[in-house]
Structure 1
Amino acid sequence: MGVAHMMQLQRLCDSIAIFLEDDLDPRSFFQTKKIANRYNCEQLEEKCNQFALQRFIEIAQSDEFMDLDEKFISFLMESNETKAKEEGKCKMLLAWTKHDIDERKECFLSLVMKFQLTKMTLSYRRFLVENEPLLFESMQSIQSLTLSILDSHGDISSKDFNLTKNKQLVVFDQTSQRMHSIDVIDKTWTPMQTIDQAIIKNLYSAVMMEPYIYVICTNKLFYRLEYAESNAKWEQMANTNLQYACVVALDGFVYGIEYGGRPNIMERYDPSNNRWTRLTNKSLILYGESLVAADGKVFCIAGHSDQQHRATNQVEIYDPVTSTWSMDNRSLNEARYRASATVTEEGIYVMGGCNVNGTSTLTTVEFRSSVTKTWMMLKPMKNARFNFSSCVIDGKVYVIGGNGNSANIEEYDPEIKEWKIIETIQGKNIFPRATVAISI
């Protein structure tokens, strides 16, 4: 772009800008924005602006967010199109300000009063007033009044806001033929949108990638639903070549690998052009693998080999940057297949499944630390299960469905290192591999 701009090759500049637009994702956003600003690519700038509004939470959690300039931060905070709750915007504004408090304090004080404070929870507003010294400089004179107004609404405790909070589990129920969400805190169930008949008959797995839930069916059809819109309809997207697909979301793409067909192929779905792309084959030909995204890579964990007639404990890692597979030099402690895997900020969890010879169902759990890169055994689940779903909410791991005791929802708390049954599903027949966690 620099050379093309210097030589005034406008058509080449435009072509490069179009390529950068198509390649835009949370990882490339910051560099693309710098290029657009440096070379005055107005259309590319606008594309970056809209991307940041739609994907604010992902952008805000990057370290590079702290280096954004005051003008762009103001744009994000003031826009009514920013896809984030007021608490989320305020928390990230505070973090950005504290990164260089002397230079950014005035900007913070001018922006904070532009938030729609009534849309914040009372507990978070009280937390701010009680705990954020930055607010005192503009609100100290009304602190007592603010607290009295908040307290008049009842016994409101002070509570911080977490970007990962307000999440719920979503299941696909064959009995009612609709989705239901469950709040894991108060155990309340809420009916959601109905499920199309074409999906009910063939649903296999699901993945959440804001603002959509995507589902893959056994007839290779692929659908999505904008779940936050109560009147949203299922959209049929481009078909995949995968029939029994295990799927995971990473950096704005959906990655899928054949779970039941025993090949070694993986495909990637790009929502920007509604297209599936065949990726490099992995080394091991397995079925019943577990798929997770962590550290910017896709981990394909364990699985069953027809050639060896047994499960494996090996782990293959796909790097989207180099389009290559590599074997993890540290394997699981226990071979397994048809297990479930999920990831937290601390590392990867693999739970349950069938043992090496398929003669029994497992309760065992393993954890791979993102720091040490080693696998360690944790306390086992309460129920043995395979072919089930697992999700993370507020750092806790939830398992649901599958063969075994599919009615029990279990929770693992990493702080106390204990499993407990938090709910027993009644009157629902849920798809075992399709539970996802969404933000409400």
Structure 2
Amino acid sequence: MGVAHMMQLQRLCDSIAIFLEDDLDPRSFFQTKNIANRYNCKQLEEKCNQFGLQRFKEIVQSDEFMELDEKFISFLMESKETKAKEEVKCKMLLAWTKHDIDERKECFLSLLMKFQLTKMTLSYRRFLVENEPLLYRSFESLRLLTISILDSTGNSSSKDINWGENKQLVVFDKTSQRMHSHDVDDKTWTPMQTIDQAIIQNTLYSAVVMETYIYVICMNGSFYRLEYAESNAKWEQMTNTELQYARAVALDGFVYGIEYQNYSNIMERYDPSNNKWSRLTNKSLILAWEALVAADGKVFCIAGRNQGQQGQPTNKVEIYDPVTSTWSMDNKSLNEARDCAFATSTEEGIYVMGGYDLNQRSTLINVEFRSSVTKTWMMLKPMKNARAGAFSSCVIDEKVYVIGGNGNPANIEAYDPETKEWKIIETIPGKNIFPRATVAISI
């Protein structure tokens, strides 16, 4: 390229540029970009720019990323097309700045202002204020972060992020007898490991994610786990639970389960360190079809149907505290009694969706939210579809995803707390899923 450029052989320069475009990958990216800049190859430079935006997470893993100039770093940080969350971009900006802090600390603030700070999680913004000298020693940086936090709602604990983390929604498909992961940003489906035949035969009923494992419980209480990040991993059968039709949640390294379709006041806890289930203190209320969720370091049993001939739904909320091993009733009840609902939680609070109103004999579209700050329940905008019983929900990047329920097994609906709107985001063609077992994993 140097010789062709010096001899003004433009057609040869163009041919070399086309070759370099075709050969562009994360390893060749940095040299190709240098060539494009040095010899003023505008089209090749644009190709490199687009490659950097689309393959950001791959190029940042190279040591050569630290040698990029301020202009290109600014371009990556500011562009809305960069395929990375704001937290990931910020984490890499900090690493780039610290690589030559004497030369780069002066431009850090101007680069920080390129971010959409309100799109970062509150926990990561708090982490920055508490742990990053580049921010807490700068009045202007603290001002920017403080304003962004005031523009957000709720409270959160301090938590770092993994720049390589990509959360995906996982369903269990009866048709292919495999798990499938869904990237909610790219709207792509990827087949994962097969489902063990014993799990299919015993009917998968509930699933949770804990650390690097997916745990599943079948109708009869048989219990299995899979290390999902290992492509060749096999399902392991763990100690079975005595719970039938169990609904489960994960909290602080344990799995908690209750009986869902049976009237019961029993809760069990699974400890992976010794592969044992243990019976906990009984709940006060004997209910069926309760929603179960972990939030604020506690386990919440929400609504459900009372035992007896009337079998009326309730709006009561019972809370288990693992520290004291005690149950208590929430001071505030749901606005509407329901059973067969589903609950999930974010950093901001608990969402309870759908369910069944026995009095009206109708499936609900109603959604309620319990703020972790005010501890009170409020009605949100309803879902697009009524759902009850055989459906589930999970959270990805603070958005709530709901799948299945009441004749909508192939329908995924999402709630955005920022816009306070629900929308149908995806369908699942050709799949017959276990609707109570949808989970979110980090890849």
Instruction: Calculate the TM-score normalised by the size of structure 1.
Output: 0.66
TM-aligned CA distance change 1:245 to 1:141, over 3 Å: closer
Q: Which residue of 1 aligns with 2:302?
A: 301
Number of residues of Structure 1 aligned to a counterpart in Structure 2: 314
Structure 2 CA distance, aligned partners of 1:333 and 1:131?
46
The runs of at least 4 consecutive aligned structure 1 residues that moved more than 4 Å come to 120-134, 141-144, 157-162
> Which of 425, 429, 435 is the matching residue for 1:426?
429
Q: Which residue of 2 aligns with 1:391?
A: 394
TM-aligned CA distance change 1:367 to 1:384, over 3 Å: same
Asked whether the equivalents of residues 171 and 438 of structure 2 are also in contact (C-alpha less than 8 Å), the reply is yes
TM-aligned CA distance change 1:128 to 1:436, over 3 Å: closer
Alignment of 1:33-432 (within 5 A): 127=90, 135=98, 137-138=100-101, 140=103, 163=161, 166-201=166-201, 202-307=203-308, 308-357=310-359, 359-387=361-389, 388-432=391-435
Percent of counterpart pairs with the same letter?
A: 73
Tell which structure's C-alpha radius of gyration is larger. Answer: 2
Deviation at 1:140, TM superposition (A): 2.9
CA RMSD of aligned residues (A): 3.1
Deviation at 1:424, TM superposition (A): 1.0
Instruction: Calculate the TM-score normalised by the size of structure 2.
Output: 0.66
Opposite residue 270 of structure 1, the aligned amino acid is D
Deviation at 1:126, TM superposition (A): 6.2
Secondary structure of the structure 2 residue equivalent to 1:311: coil
Structure 2 CA distance, aligned partners of 1:122 and 1:386?
33
Structure 2 CA distance, aligned partners of 1:263 and 1:435?
24
Q: Unaligned stretches of 5+ in structure 2?
A: 1-56, 60-82, 108-115, 125-159
Q: What whole-Å deviation, never above 9, does each CA across 1:187-224 have from its counterpart, x for those lacking one?
A: 10000000011101221000000110000011211000
Opposite residue 380 of structure 2, the aligned amino acid is L
TM-aligned CA distance change 1:123 to 1:273, over 3 Å: same
Asked whether the equivalents of residues 291 and 302 of structure 2 are also in contact (C-alpha less than 8 Å), the reply is yes
Q: What whole-Å deviation, never above 9, does each CA across 1:46-78 have from its counterpart, x for those lacking one?
A: xxxxxxxxxxxxxxxxxxxxxxxxxxxxxxxxx
Asked whether the equivalents of residues 261 and 289 of structure 2 are also in contact (C-alpha less than 8 Å), the reply is yes
Secondary structure of the structure 1 residue equivalent to 2:199: helix
Opposite residue 192 of structure 1, the aligned amino acid is M
Secondary structure of the structure 2 residue equivalent to 1:334: coil
Structure 2 CA distance, aligned partners of 1:364 and 1:231?
42
Q: Which residue of 2 aligns with 1:9?
A: none
Secondary structure of the structure 2 residue equivalent to 1:433: helix
TM-aligned CA distance change 1:178 to 1:329, over 3 Å: same
Q: Unaligned stretches of 5+ in structure 1?
A: 1-84, 88-119, 145-156
Opposite residue 138 of structure 1, the aligned amino acid is I
Opposite residue 419 of structure 1, the aligned amino acid is W
Opposite residue 384 of structure 2, the aligned amino acid is K
Asked whether the equivalents of residues 262 and 288 of structure 2 are also in contact (C-alpha less than 8 Å), the reply is yes
Structure 1 CA distance, aligned partners of 2:355 and 2:288?
12
Asked whether the equivalents of residues 310 and 358 of structure 1 are also in contact (C-alpha less than 8 Å), the reply is no
